[in-house]
Chains A and B, each alone.
Chain A
Amino acid sequence: MSDTRLTPFVAVFQTELLFNLKRVAPYALMLVFSANAVLWWGWGPAVARGWAVNSDFYIVWLLGGFSFMTTPLFIALLMGDPVIRDFRVGIDPLIFSKPVGRAAYLLGKFCGNYVVLVCCQACFALTALALQAFSRPGMIVLAPRLLPYLQHFLFFVGVTSLALGAICFTVGTLTRNVKLVYGLAVSFYPLYIAWQLTLKGLPWRWRIVLDPLLFNVGGNAWQGQSADWLNHLTVSYDGDMIANRAAMCAVALVCLGIVHARFSLVERVRADAARHQPTLLNLAPRAERLYGEAESFGAAQVAQASEQVAPAGAVGAGKPGALPEVRIVTQGWRATLDQFRAALGVEFRLLRAERSLVVVAPLVLFLCCLELAVYEIAPAPSYSAAYAGRTAEALLLFLFAVAVFYTGETMHRDREARIEPVLWSVPAPNLVLLLSKFAATLLLSLALITLVGVSAAGLQLYKGHAPLEPQIYLKTYAVILAPGIIFMIAAAVALNILLRDKYLTYAASLAVGGGFYYLTGQGYNHWLYNPVLYRLWTPADLVGGDALTRILVHRAYTLALSVLLLALALLCFERKATKDLTEQGRLSGAGWTTLVALVSVAVAVVTGLIVSAGT
C-alpha cells in the first residue's frame, strides 16, 4: 500500500523530471559536459606529464577541475528557478490550492532538479569512463576500472552540487529573483579565490576541511611526486575529507530547513504598489451613462440617447474632442532623430534597471583591475599605455558577455513584456526600434569601459606610476575596444533577429565565441577573421607608424562589417514596412538599407584587402 503522505512529494518530483526531460538545457549540459570530458582526456595535461588517464589521481584531478569550471553556473541554471517558474507561469494557485504541504512541494522541487543536475554531470564521469577503451599516441591507460569513477564522482561532485544546489535553490525560492542566483553563481569565482587565499596560511588539514570543492585534497603529499607514483596512487577518504563532505551535507540540510521555514505561498506585493494602493484609486465617475446589463438594444439606445443631451462634465472629466491639438511630425530626419532619442532613452533606462548589473559591474571592475593591483606593471611603452592595454585585453572577454546577454535581453524584452504589438503599430521606422536597442547596449558597454578606465587610472596614480596620460587611455579604448564592442553588439543584434530565440542565440554566440577563443589559442589567428583584434596588438603598436595605420584600417574593416550586420538585421526584421526598394520614386527604408549594406560590403572588401596585404 502506498503512503499517501508521500504522494504529493512523488507527484512534484515526477513533474520536475518530466518537465526537465522536455527542456533543451539538460541535454545541452550533457553535451557540454561530455565534450568537456573528451577535451580533458585527449588534450589535457595527462599525456604531457605522463599521468594515466584512468588513474585514481587523474580522476580526482579531473573531477576537481570539472567542479570548479562548471559547478556554479550550471547549478544556478538548474537549481535557481524551479519554484520561481511556478510563480512566473501562474500555476502556483492551482498547486497550492491542493493538499500539498510546503515540505513535500519544496523537497519534490529540490530533489527533482538535483537528480537532473547529477544526471547531467554524470555524463562527464561516464564519458571519461567510456574513454578508457581508447587511447592516443603517448597516452597511458591502466587496466579498465569502473568503481573509482562512480565513487569519486559522487564524493567530489555529487556532494558539492548538493550543497551549492541547496544554496541556489534557497536564494532563488526565497527572493524569487533568478538573476540574483546567477549573480551569486558569477560571484562564486572571486569569492572562492579569496577564500582560498584566506586559507593559505592554515595547516593542510584545515585547508581540506574548509574547502567546499575539495580542491586541496592530497595536500603537499601529492606535490612533486613522479608520474609513476601518482599513477599507482589509490585515493581513499580520510577523516578530514569525510568531515568536509559531512559539513557540505549539513549546509544543504540547513538551507533546506531555512527555505522550509521561510517559504511563503502568498503573493508578493511590490513595495511601491502597496504604497500607492492602486486598487483604492477610484477617481473615475460611476458609469451612469450606459447600462452594462442592458436587456435589449432598445434599452441601450435609450441610455445612449439620454447621454447625448446630458450636460458636458456630467460624466468624466473629459468630453469628446477635448484632447488638445498637437503637431504630428513623423517624416524627415528630424522626426526620426526625435523618435530615436525617445527610444534610446527608454531602452537605456530599462537596461540600467537590470538587477544583474549590480553584480556584473563590480565583478568586471574587480577582475579587470585585479592584475594591475597584484602584479608589477612594466612601463612599455609607458605606464598609461600598459595599464590601458592590460585592461583593454581583459575587458574584451567581459564585453563579449555583455554584448551577448544584454543585447539578448534588450532584443527580446518587448516580446516578453507583451508590449511588442503596441510598439510595432506606431509610425516609427524599424531603424528607430532596432538601432535604439543597439545604441542602448553600446552605451552600457561604454559606461563599463569608462568605469574600468577610471579605476585603472586611479590605480596607476595610487601605485605612483606617473605620469598619467588620459589621452593614451582614450586612444587605446577608442581604437581597440570601441570598434570591437560595436561589432559584437551588431553581431548579437543580427543573430537575435535571424534566430528569433534568445536562448538559441546565447548558445550560438557562446559556441562561436568559444570556437574563436580555442582557435586563437591554437595559433589560428588572422586579422581578417578577428574583428576584435584579440591577441593581435600590443600597446606599442598604438604609438604610431605602420602598425597603427594597419590597426586603423582594420578598425574601418570592423566598422564596415558592423554596419553590414545591422543592415542585415534591418532587412530581416520581422516587422515589415514596405517590400519595395522605392516608394513614390524615392528610396524606401528597405532601399536605403540595401544601399548602406552594399556600400559597407564595398568598404569591407577594400579595407580587408589592405589589411591582408599588410599582414
Chain B
Amino acid sequence: MLARAHKRAMLQIKQLKKTYASGVQALKGIDLEVGAGVFGLLGPNGAGKTTLMKILATLLEPDGGEVAVDGVDFIGQKTAARRMLGYLPQEFGLYPTLTAEQTLAYFARLKGVTDAKERARLIDALLDRVNLNAARGQRVGGFSGGMRQRLGIAQALIGRPRLIIVDEPTAGLDPEERNRFHNLLSEIAGADTVVLLSTHIVSDVSNLCGTMAIIRRGEIIAFRTPRAALAEMADAVWEATVAREQLAALKARCRVISTQMFEGQMRVRVLSQNGRPGTEFCPVSPTLEDYYLNLASQPEGVN
C-alpha cells in the first residue's frame, strides 16, 4: 500500500525492508510519502517504528528500498542526508559533565555553525525556545527527564534540519512536561520541514499531527489524517457498562474495541456499523484511540 500525502511530498520512502540477523523481519516493504508538517507514526511496541527511525537517521542500513528527502538519497548519500537531519532518539544520553550551553555549542560546531558569534546567538535562542536559559550553566548530569528531553530537541533543531525525527519523545514525561513538549513540536514544524513523530501514545498524534500512519509488524496498515480516521468511525462506536461475566458473550457477538474497568464493572466500547448492538449500548464520539485499537487488534493481513 503506498501511503501518500496530499501536500508536496518531502519525504519519500519506497519498498523499505529490513530483516535483522536474528531473522526478525522488522520492515516488510514500507511505502510512504510525507509532506511538510508534523507526521505521526503510530504503532505498538515492536511494530518497527524505531527501526524505521534509525534507517531515516542514517544509523541503520536497510536491506532494500529507497529513502529520499527533497531528492537527497538518504541511503546512498549519508553525509548529505545528515546535513538535513535533526534526530532525537527514543533513548539517548548526554555527557553528564558538560553544561547545557557547552552541549549545544558542541553540537552546533559539529553541525557546521562555525562562526562563534552566530553560534552564541543561536544557542541563546535555542535555550530560550526550550526554556532552559536559567539552567544553561548547569551540568546536564543533574537535569530532570523533561529538561534532558528539551535539551535533546534543542540539539535536533540546530542547522535548519529539513527532517526532524523524534522517536517516542514523551515516554516517561509527566503530563505537564508532555504538554510542554507538544507545544514545542508544534512550533517547530514549518512550511519546509517534516517533523516525524514516532509514538505509541495516541494522544500525542491526535494533539499534534496533521497526518498519521499506523505501523504494525513492519507494515503500514493505515495512512490518514486523524480527521479522516475519525470520520470513518462516525456513528459506529458504542459504549456500555457490563458485568465482567458478560464480556465473553459480548466479544462473540460484537467487535470489541476496548475494555476498561470502571467502578467494578467493565466499560466496553464496540464498533458496529449496523446500528445499536444492544439495548445497553449508547452512541459515543469516536476517538483516535478507538481507530488505532480497532486496527491494531485486527488479524494480520487486514489493512
Contacts and interface: CB of A to CB of B under 8 A. Distances in A.
A291 B208 CA distance: 10
Given A317-B131, A318-B128, A427-B79, A323 B141 contact: no
A323 B186 contact: no
A417 B179 contact: no
Interface residues of B, number: 84
Contacts of B125: 318, 322-324
Contacts of A353: 97
B180 A292 contact: no
Contacts of B159: 328, 427
Q: B-side binding surface: helix, strand, loop or mixed? A: helix
Interface in B100-141: 102, 105-107, 109-115, 118-119, 121-122, 125-126, 128-129, 131, 133-135, 138-139, 141
Interface string A308-329: 0000000111111111101111
B230 interface: yes
B203 A292 contact: yes
A276 interface: yes
Contacts of B115: 326-327
Q: A-side binding surface: helix, strand, loop or mixed? A: loop
Interface in B32-85: 54, 57-59, 61, 76-79, 82-83, 85
B287 interface: yes
Interface string B128-164: 1101011100110111100100101001010110000
Identify which of A276, A335, A342 gathers the most chain B CB atoms within 10 Å of its CB: A342
A419 B109 contact: no
A297 B131 contact: no
B263 interface: no
Interface string A352-370: 0100000000000000000
How many of chain A's residues touch chain B, expressed as a range? 35 or more
A295 B93 contact: no
A231 B94 CA distance: 62
Contact of A276 (B91, B142, B179, B286): B142
Nearest to B139: A272
A289 B139 contact: no
A24 B218 CA distance: 36
Interface stretch (A38-46, A280-288, A479-487): A280-288
A316 B92 contact: no
Interface stretch (A52-60, A78-86, A298-306): A298-306
Nearest to B86: A425
Contacts of A304: 186
Contacts of B206: 294, 296-297, 300
A418 B93 contact: yes
Interface of A: 270, 272-273, 276, 278-279, 281, 283-287, 289-298, 300-301, 303-304, 307, 315-324, 326-330, 334-335, 338-339, 341-343, 345-346, 349-350, 353, 417-419, 421-429, 432, 575-578, 589
3 smallest beta-carbon distances between A and B, as pairs: A287-B179, A273-B142, A342-B109
29 contacts: A273-B139, A276-B142, A279-B144, A281-B144, A283-B134, A287-B179, A287-B183, A290-B208, A296-B287, A304-B186, A307-B186, A317-B129, A321-B190, A322-B129, A323-B129, A326-B121, A328-B113, A339-B112, A341-B109, A343-B106, A350-B97, A417-B93, A418-B91, A418-B93, A421-B54, A423-B110, A429-B79, A578-B78, A578-B79
Interface of B: 54, 57-59, 61, 76-79, 82-83, 85, 87-89, 91-98, 102, 105-107, 109-115, 118-119, 121-122, 125-126, 128-129, 131, 133-135, 138-139, 141-144, 147, 150, 152, 155, 157, 159-160, 175-176, 178-180, 182-184, 186-190, 203, 206-208, 226-227, 229-230, 285-288
